[in-house]
Amino acid sequence: MMGNSTFYKWREKYGGVDASLMTRMKELEDENRRLKKMYVDQIRGHFRGYSKK
């Protein structure tokens, strides 16, 4: 069950958005998540190259 305040916040944010725009926004959020993961993996790999001597 969704609380009233959650519903109204959601409606305020997405109420005027049509389905195609919502789909595109979801795609962009997924792409952003994927790019952030790639960035973190690359940074971790960079630091793995440095070993304590």
For residues 49 and 41, is the Cβ–Cβ distance under 8 A?
no
The per-residue pLDDT for 31 is 98
User: Cα torsion for 27, 33, 39, 41, to the nearest 10°?
Assistant: -120
pLDDT digits (tens, 9 = 90+) for 1-53: 778 999 888 888 888 888 898 899 999 999 999 999 999 999 998 888 766 55
The per-residue pLDDT for 40 is 94
Q: Is 29 helix (H, G, I), strand (E, B) or coil?
A: helix
Q: For residues 43 and 16, what is the distance between their CA atoms, to the nearest angstrom? A: 39
Sign of the four-CA dihedral 36, 40, 43, 49: negative
pTM score over 0.75? no
